[in-house]
Structure 1
Amino acid sequence: MVDLCLSEAITVQMPAALRHLFATVLIFCQPKDPASLWDKYYPSLSEDYSREYTCDTYIIRVLTVRKVEQHLEEMGKSLRSFGLGHLSEPQDSVRQRTRDITDTLNAPIPEDCMLCRTSLNSDQQHVFDVIMEHVTANKPGAFFVDGPGGTGKTYLYNALYA
């Protein structure tokens, strides 16, 4: 049943959707042999990365595993939960932090956040400029933005995020 589901999906789904489906299958279908499913469907799960990184099989594998792991983590599981921990690289705390930062930086920025910068009020603009001055000059700093509800703190955060 699981094999049929994945076999049909590879004919119509893009690799990103297949990786998400693979994670969903692991969690909700509890296949008897997840490793053989991985081996069988890995070429389809990694097809987009294979085109982008034609000669680097290591990068292709790391990116594919990372994306499946990311989907599993969103659902409170990991590859280890399914006996697939060997696919992941050993992670120390520094590497995990780096991965978290990379994942955050690669997250898509919503269009409405991109537009926030152009319509900040004067107080928001001042805070934005001070913080960005530190960022662009690579100066350390900690900032605390305080104000009552509805004064635009989240709007400012969205502008900074973008």
Structure 2
Amino acid sequence: MEAAKRRGLLHDDTEYERCMAEAVLFQMPQQLRILFCVILLYCNPTKPINLWNSFKGHMAEDFMQYANAEVAEAMTFYAIEEKLEEQGRRCSDFGIPSPTSAPYTFES
């Protein structure tokens, strides 16, 4: 299996992880959320939940200015959900579960 990965025969999410990690260095959280949606919609990552777990904190940084971490994460989820719904998709389509807490209101 490792040999197949090295030869590029098996698909993994390394490129998407690198893309998000690079974007974290110079993009605002809103742009990170948009990039995350683009990756979900057009790149077909094998484990979207891993990308979510790795970068949700960075995507939530603007919301953390006025909310605790749990609420900021929920706000991030719903901002992403809203963008995906514009394309007829939902976070659950990608195996990303709904947060346990609901945000109050936010501007997207």
TM-score, normalization: structure 1? 0.52
Aligned to 1:68: 80
* Contact kept in structure 1, 2:57 and 2:73, CA below 8 Å: no
Tell me how large the CA RMSD over aligned residues is: 2.3
Per-residue deviation, 1:75 = 1.3
- Residues 89-116 of structure 1, C-alpha deviation per residue, up to 9 Å, x if partnerless? 59xxxxxxxx9xx67xx57xxxxxxxxx
Aligned to 1:46: 60
- Residues 32-63 of structure 1, C-alpha deviation per residue, up to 9 Å, x if partnerless? 1111111110111001111222xx22321211
Out of 76, 79, 83, the residue aligned to residue 91 of structure 2 is 79
Highest relative contact order (Cα 8 Å, sep 6+), 1 or 2?
Answer: 2
Equivalent pairs counted in the alignment come to 93
Aligned to 1:32: 46
Question: Between Structure 1 and Structure 2, which shows a larger proportion of helix residues?
Answer: 1
Per-residue deviation, 1:87 = 2.6
- Residues 110-143 of structure 1, C-alpha deviation per residue, up to 9 Å, x if partnerless? xxxxxxxxxxxxxxxxxxxxxxxxxxxxxxxxxx
Question: Structure 2: 5+ residue runs without aligned partners?
Answer: 1-14
Question: Structure 1: 5+ residue runs without aligned partners?
Answer: 91-98, 108-162
Aligned-residue sequence identity (percent) comes to 29
